[in-house]
A and B are shown apart, each in its own frame.
Chain A
């Protein structure tokens, strides 16, 4: 009983679970005590507990630990590089002239919410497949258009994520593992296609992006060569971004890297000024870039046998879906998309909000965005809170992740690495859901962004994933 006798010779230091009343008595006697903020694991649901227990069996747990260690290693050692820009039809696997990619798990036209339908019809007009929005809606419903999730094409899409054949995409190559990731260009502003807006001004901007911005970026990359995005992401976090809702620093860094090459392209000075003005018009310019960065790293960690690490969190405005490394391919586990809570633009009320939408939660899946609120004290108002609370968010996300990414760190937390590798088991064990920073689109088609805030995934998605994992691993 050497351990017990070492207990007798040290100061009592208690973890108190369940009854807070015991804490006062213990503290009054001079012992250290901390009382857990305890809730029944897995929400107290017997079938989920059974799955967790199956995954907690000693031998199984060892296999999972090893697999998860490999998953977070692959995420952390991934080196995503921006290598170019190109039209979706030319670069995205499986893209066709009549394919529309969208955010989140699979969804049919009739089930899409207002903003996504708005974006789809706008995209069909932009592509010249319909002459107006009404004709576009009829076409979308006709069955002639192929709808497919961005995530199933090595891509991600912000908000509605609607991506059509002639839109220009970031091309990101994971130098470490060789895989690619793609995402659309930022439309800047609030009244934009991805937020569900689709009038003439929106389509006009898309045309300019296709004809000027996209080709100029493509040419610039050919001149300047690859850009190390993980390094830039780490720098942006050190400069006060969390790289999901705050991109002030990241956009400056990206522009700084692109500017010399942009100047050397064959476009006119007027067109170059348009591009610089466009980049300056919104701090969000680099937002999609970080999404593709995260996607490239997480895809490299998908499909590791026995791993319970989440590799995708994505929403289509109706459902929130996750994918898990140990459940290879396109197996989605879903629950209803939540309501985003946060400050709204003047004149809008919470009931105007569309439900949670977009692939941008790939940033939290990697470990920044909401997970790294502690790096971006300037936007703690988003969560209605204090800087202290922002620190607590990151610490709390540490409770549901596998480890920290040493390559991307947080100055205010003594350069702790960002929380990495969301573990399905830990989410259910703790009852802590991942926190996601995001924008709010109006619930109706045609309007656009009306606010920003935070949201959690539905716990059902994790419960279903745990059951599937228990069947495969347990």
Chain B
């Protein structure tokens, strides 16, 4: 143990600062005890009691600063003194103005009178509470969280309805409000196509197709997946239709959902008559009759919905893509006799649905974790069988882990597993770009694709892998690069969700009939 003392003449610090500095100095490496104080009689008395008073310190006056450090053996005392002197130098706070952060929605709303929308993504136990606070403070709500009880959802939507606010969600992953994409959304041009959707990836796909056709989006209002259920009764979709009907920037309205409860469908379609604008309806696997009877335009799929909306709402020519049948024949020729089944490994729920419904037109023998038919429902941990379509974004897969659009690990493992199955003819996958999604969804999948193809090649099989990249030329990462990377890896790239389903169905027809 050794003691070092320095007196800095005519250097003043207030006692509170010095106590703080001494406390910090005590924490320096090698310091047993540090004492930084003005040379007052009282302080010198304390040093005397501690046996640390040297003649030099004794001579210090009340305007002189005393630095005394008792250090452990082997410590560089010069370094310690330098470190203590460093503590005396005041540093201006970095960054200049400090950003204000709030703890509660109420505090933020009070302090920011221009705030008009809350994006809420907290645990379902607290989500309803936060959404209510937002509505009570006059904010529109996009509620990303799921696991909110349905009774709470109804109460929130009723409250929002009464206040004239949007209550998007719970479980709402996609919206575009005033040309700003929220959560999972794509960068699309502003335009006159308005969308109200109970389906996240379905609405992403339609918005992307509208953009690809040269048109743009006025608003994309998400409702959450349960809005068209019997219990909720389509409160948000009906309010959304009315809001877009009143919006001068919207010339055509597109409604997107899985097939709603019959009574709710009727209520929602009844809004078409008073909308005063053409309304295109794509209820995946829904019936044309009801839509047409209500005065709506029935869409058979996502691409059809986009094409019809652009035709009805803009001056642009819009044409649907055509399936290249020659390409399919070439693929089928390479397949072995055993290879008879399609396996779909999807991130997007509605993309899964659209591809699966394409096959269901031919056969009811399609297995899925999101199948409505209980006889063909496959749990997440069961191996695939026959034609299988898996939605990795469904609760059973996401329980306790991020959405596959962010964390692809489960899907990568499944891809390799499917490649080992000699009955598999084609594996269909989606890759979703845009806000909120993985920064390089294709890149992160390429090693698994290579492994899968190698497994099939080693077994003497051709494995057809089909990929669809959902994105626009404005999204990050670059759409063309993602497509090029897939093609370079030997993946067949489709041009839309609709075409993806058609392609899978066309192959399935050939191999099952072969």
Q: Do A and B bind each other?
A: yes
Which residue numbers of A lie inside 8 Å of B, CB to CB?
A: 1-5, 7-8, 10-19, 21-22, 25-26, 29-32, 34-41, 44, 49, 53, 342-347, 349, 378-379, 381-382, 384, 386, 388, 392, 395-396, 398-399, 426, 429-432, 451-452
Q: Across the interface, which residues of A come within 8 angstroms of B239, CB to CB? A: 1, 4
Q: Which segment, of B111-119, B421-429, B492-500, faces chain A? A: B111-119
**Least Cβ distance of B422 to chain A in Å?**
41
Q: A32 CA to B140 CA in the complex, in Å?
A: 15
**Least Cβ distance of A226 to chain B in Å?**
33
B164 at the interface (CB under 8 A from A): yes
**Least Cβ distance of B54 to chain A in Å?**
16
Task: Determine whether the beta carbon of B121 is less than 8 Å from that of A15.
Answer: no
Q: Across the interface, which residues of B come within 8 angstroms of A18, CB to CB? A: 120-122, 130, 144-145
**Least Cβ distance of B439 to chain A in Å?**
11
Which residue numbers of B lie inside 8 Å of A, CB to CB?
A: 14, 16-17, 19-23, 26, 33, 35, 37, 43, 46, 50, 93, 98, 100-109, 112, 114-123, 125-126, 129-130, 134, 139-140, 144-145, 163-166, 177-183, 187, 219, 239, 242-243, 246-247, 249, 435-436
Q: Across the interface, which residues of A come within 8 angstroms of B163, CB to CB? A: 3
Q: A25 CA to B184 CA in the complex, in Å?
A: 10
Q: Which of A15, A31, A392 contacts B98 (CB 8 A)?
A: A392
Task: Determine whether the beta carbon of B129 is less than 8 Å from that of A41.
Answer: yes
Task: Determine whether the beta carbon of A7 is less than 8 Å from that of B125.
Answer: no
Task: Determine whether the beta carbon of A44 is less than 8 Å from that of B126.
Answer: yes
Q: Which of A37, A379, A430 contacts B16 (CB 8 A)?
A: A379
> Could you list 8 further interchain pairs (A-B, Cβ under 8 angstroms) beyond the known A17-B120, A19-B121, A29-B179?
A1-B246, A18-B121, A22-B121, A34-B115, A36-B108, A381-B19, A395-B100, A452-B19
A7/B116 contact (C-beta < 8 A), A1-B239, A15-B139 known: yes
Task: Determine whether the beta carbon of B120 is less than 8 Å from that of A22.
Answer: no
Task: Determine whether the beta carbon of B180 is less than 8 Å from that of A26.
Answer: yes
Nearest B residue to A392, CB-CB:
B98
Task: Determine whether the beta carbon of B243 is less than 8 Å from that of A5.
Answer: yes
Listed from nearest, the 4 A-B pairs whose CB atoms lie closest are: A343-B19, A3-B164, A18-B121, A18-B122
Q: Across the interface, which residues of A come within 8 angstroms of B26, CB to CB? A: 349
Q: Which of B101, B103, B139, B181 contacts A25 (CB 8 A)?
A: B181
Task: Determine whether the beta carbon of B104 is less than 8 Å from that of A430.
Answer: yes
Q: A396 CA to B112 CA in the complex, in Å?
A: 15
Q: Across the interface, which residues of A come within 8 angstroms of B20, CB to CB? A: 342-343, 381-382, 384
**Least Cβ distance of B45 to chain A in Å?**
11
A388/B183 contact (C-beta < 8 A), A8-B243, A8-B249 known: no
A41/B126 contact (C-beta < 8 A), A343-B22, A378-B16 known: yes
A26/B219 contact (C-beta < 8 A), A18-B121, A18-B145, A344-B23 known: no
Task: Determine whether the beta carbon of A31 is less than 8 Å from that of B121.
Answer: no
Q: A272 CA to B43 CA in the complex, in Å?
A: 28
Q: Which of B19, B119, B129 contacts A16 (CB 8 A)?
A: B119
Task: Determine whether the beta carbon of A3 is less than 8 Å from that of B165.
Answer: yes
Q: A445 CA to B243 CA in the complex, in Å?
A: 72
Nearest B residue to A24, CB-CB:
B435
Q: A41 CA to B178 CA in the complex, in Å?
A: 31
Q: A388 CA to B453 CA in the complex, in Å?
A: 59
Q: Which of B14, B16, B35, B105 contacts A17 (CB 8 A)?
A: B105
Q: A27 CA to B315 CA in the complex, in Å?
A: 33
Q: Across the interface, which residues of A come within 8 angstroms of B243, CB to CB? A: 1, 4-5, 8
Nearest A residue to B123, CB-CB:
A40
Task: Determine whether the beta carbon of B116 is less than 8 Å from that of A34.
Answer: no
Q: Across the interface, which residues of A come within 8 angstroms of B35, CB to CB? A: 346-347
**Least Cβ distance of B367 to chain A in Å?**
33
A44/B125 contact (C-beta < 8 A), A12-B177, A395-B100 known: yes
- Give 18 A-B contacts (CB < 8 Å), ordered by A residue: A1-B243, A7-B116, A14-B118, A15-B115, A17-B105, A18-B122, A19-B121, A34-B102, A38-B122, A40-B122, A342-B20, A343-B20, A381-B17, A388-B93, A398-B107, A399-B103, A430-B104, A432-B103
Q: Which of A13, A22, A346, A430 contacts B116 (CB 8 A)?
A: A13
Q: Across the interface, which residues of B come within 8 angstroms of A10, CB to CB? A: 114, 116, 178
Q: Across the interface, which residues of A come within 8 angstroms of B120, CB to CB? A: 17-18
**Least Cβ distance of A344 to chain B in Å?**
6
Q: A269 CA to B134 CA in the complex, in Å?
A: 67
Q: Which of A26, A29, A32, A378 contacts B14 (CB 8 A)?
A: A378
Q: Across the interface, which residues of A come within 8 angstroms of B436, CB to CB? A: 21-22, 25
Task: Determine whether the beta carbon of A11 is less than 8 Å from that of B19.
Answer: no
Q: Which of A4, A39, A44, A378 contacts B103 (CB 8 A)?
A: A39
**Least Cβ distance of A384 to chain B in Å?**
6
Task: Determine whether the beta carbon of B98 is less than 8 Å from that of A7.
Answer: no
Q: Across the interface, which residues of A come within 8 angstroms of B164, CB to CB? A: 1-4
**Least Cβ distance of A97 to chain B in Å?**
37
Q: Which of A15, A29, A343, A398 contacts B119 (CB 8 A)?
A: A15
Q: Which of A12, A346, A349, A392 contacts B178 (CB 8 A)?
A: A12
Q: Across the interface, which residues of A come within 8 angstroms of B126, CB to CB? A: 40-41, 44, 49
A8/B119 contact (C-beta < 8 A), A1-B164, A3-B164, A35-B101 known: no
Q: A16 CA to B116 CA in the complex, in Å?
A: 11
**Least Cβ distance of A383 to chain B in Å?**
9
Nearest B residue to A451, CB-CB:
B19
Q: Across the interface, which residues of B come within 8 angstroms of A15, CB to CB? A: 102, 105, 108-109, 112, 115, 117-119, 134, 139
A429/B104 contact (C-beta < 8 A), A4-B243, A15-B117, A347-B46 known: yes
A17/B121 contact (C-beta < 8 A), A53-B129, A344-B23, A381-B16 known: yes
Q: Which of B46, B122, B134, B139 contacts A346 (CB 8 A)?
A: B46
Q: Across the interface, which residues of A come within 8 angstroms of B249, CB to CB? A: 8
Nearest B residue to A17, CB-CB:
B120
Q: A26 CA to B182 CA in the complex, in Å?
A: 7
Nearest A residue to B68, CB-CB:
A346
Q: Which of A13, A29, A37, A379 contacts B181 (CB 8 A)?
A: A29
Which of A21, A29, A388 counts the most chain B CB atoms within 10 A? A29
Q: A379 CA to B219 CA in the complex, in Å?
A: 52
A399/B125 contact (C-beta < 8 A), A4-B165, A382-B20 known: no
Nearest A residue to B164, CB-CB:
A3
